[in-house]
Amino acid sequence: DVKVTQSSRYLVKRTGEKVFLECVQDMDHENMFWYRQDPGLGLRLIYFSYDVKMKEKGDIPEGYSVSREKKERFSLILESASTNQTSMYLCASSLWAGEDTQYFGPGTRLTVL
Amino acid sequence: TQLLEQSPQFLSIQEGENLTVYCNSSSVFSSLQWYRQEPGEGPVLLVTVVTGGEVKKLKRLTFQFGDARKDSSLHITAAQPGDTGLYLCAGPHYGQNFVFGPGTRLSVLP
């Protein structure tokens, strides 16, 4: 079974702090994704990566950056957290691009005070 | 404006009832996926439909892809409390990633 793990289930940070969200997958998948999920808006893509050290902006990249130094690990960074970044953050991976199945982690609920 | 719209947004029914939820777009999709997300968990893929008019069954769940490949429906027969969750549709977008609808939150009461 594919397993995608995220470093924290719940996180509380203060405005202006730097925040790291870590995601690890154990199935040698090429593609990894970071989404945020807000009520009524569904999942919105922040960044994705289709190879080590490669990254592409999604629909809402502003205020975020990412890092993929190893194939299995994809990190989301909030350089200076703001209250409007309070959300559920979901990481996903897939074997190949296009119409493949995405496997999701359990999510990190981030609250920025 | 969202590329994928879902209706209804919320649905609360009694155990044993039937229901249908919808996923609609003004755009044509090469395929559509349905995911279910339970509280505190990430979404899990239920099915992918790839051919216009296609019908797929997964036990009590029936999925249909519209002939024009712009819409899809999910029908649940004799709903059970275990069906409770957020149902999301998703479609490939620009080849590399997916766009998701806002979801239908289903609550099945015992």
Q: What is the pLDDT of residues A56-93, one digit of tens each?
A: 999 899 999 999 999 999 999 999 999 999 999 999 99
Give, for A112, the enclosing helix (H) or strand (E): strand A108-112
β-sheet bridge partners, residue A6: A23
Structure tokens at B36: 């279910």
Residue B19 CA neighbour count, 13 Å, CB half: 22
A54/B contact by beta carbon, under 8 A: no
Which chain A residues are Cβ-neighbours of B99 within 8 angstroms?
A: 45
* Type of residue found at A81: A
Q: Rounded CA gap, A33 and A16, in Å?
A: 24
pLDDT at A2: 66
Considering only A50-59, A63-72, B62-71, which range has the smallest mean pLDDT? A50-59
Give, for A10, the enclosing helix (H) or strand (E): strand A10-13
pLDDT at B55: 97
Which chain B residues are Cβ-neighbours of A40 within 8 angstroms?
A: 9, 102
CB contact under 8 A, B40 and A106: yes
Find the mean pLDDT for residues B38-64.
94
pLDDT at A16: 97
pLDDT at A100: 77
Given 3-state DSSP classes, what are the helix, strand and coil percentages for chain A, each rounded to the nearest 5? 5, 50, 45
CB contact under 8 A, B48 and A41: no
For chain A, how many helices (H) and strands (E)? Answer: 0, 11
* Type of residue found at B71: D
Q: Quote the mean pLDDT of chain B.
A: 93
Q: Has residue B61 got a pLDDT over 90?
A: yes
Q: In chain A, what is the straight-line distance between the N-terminal and C-terminal CA atoms, in Å?
A: 37
Q: What is the phi/psi pair of residue B44, to 5°?
A: -125, 130
Closest approach of A106 to chain B, Cα-based (Å): 4
% pLDDT > 90, chain A = 77
CB contact under 8 A, B98 and A45: yes
Q: Has residue A96 got a pLDDT over 80?
A: no
pLDDT at B95: 62
β-sheet bridge partners, residue B33: B48, B90
Contact A46, A34 (CB under 8 A): yes
Q: What is the CA radius of gyration of chain A?
A: 13
Find the mean pLDDT for residues A32-54.
91
CB contact under 8 A, B96 and A50: yes
pLDDT at B92: 86
CB contact under 8 A, B96 and A106: no
B85/A contact by beta carbon, under 8 A: no
CB contact under 8 A, A90 and B43: yes
Q: Quote the mean pLDDT of chain A.
A: 92
Find the mean pLDDT for residues A99-113.
91
β-sheet bridge partners, residue A66: A76
| Block residue for tokens 């069906």 | B83
